[in-house]
Amino acid sequence: MSPQNLLLEELTSPEVKRALQDGYTTIVVAVGAVEQHGPHLPLLVDAVRGDRLALEVARRLGDALVAPTIRVGCS
């Protein structure tokens, strides 16, 4: 049985335990910058892209959960 939600931070501890028992043995951790991209975009563009990429990687792997994206820098 796979978890409905692959985002580790949104799971309860019993759901994490169940996912581990079901073979979810990989954690995907993305890193995304918080920096300027001009006046038309928010600073977190890279971090949001990291969120989406990590989720897609976890889906394709099939046995992975997604940790919160590590947001680095600020310009």
Q: What is the tens place of the pLDDT at every residue in 13-59?
A: 999 999 999 999 999 999 999 999 899 999 999 999 999 999 999 99
**DSSP at 7:** B
| Run of H or E residues at 71 | strand 70-72
pTM: 0.85
**DSSP at 33:** E
**Is residue 1 included in any domain, yes or no?**
no
**Is residue 3 included in any domain, yes or no?**
no
**Is residue 31 included in any domain, yes or no?**
yes
Number of separate domains in the chain:
1
DSSP H helices, 1-75, are: 13-21, 45-61
Q: Which residues pair with 66 in a beta bridge?
A: 7, 28
* Structural domain span for residue 14: 8-72
Give the type of residue at 29: V
**Is residue 2 included in any domain, yes or no?**
no
**Is residue 20 included in any domain, yes or no?**
yes
pLDDT at residue 4 in the model: 81
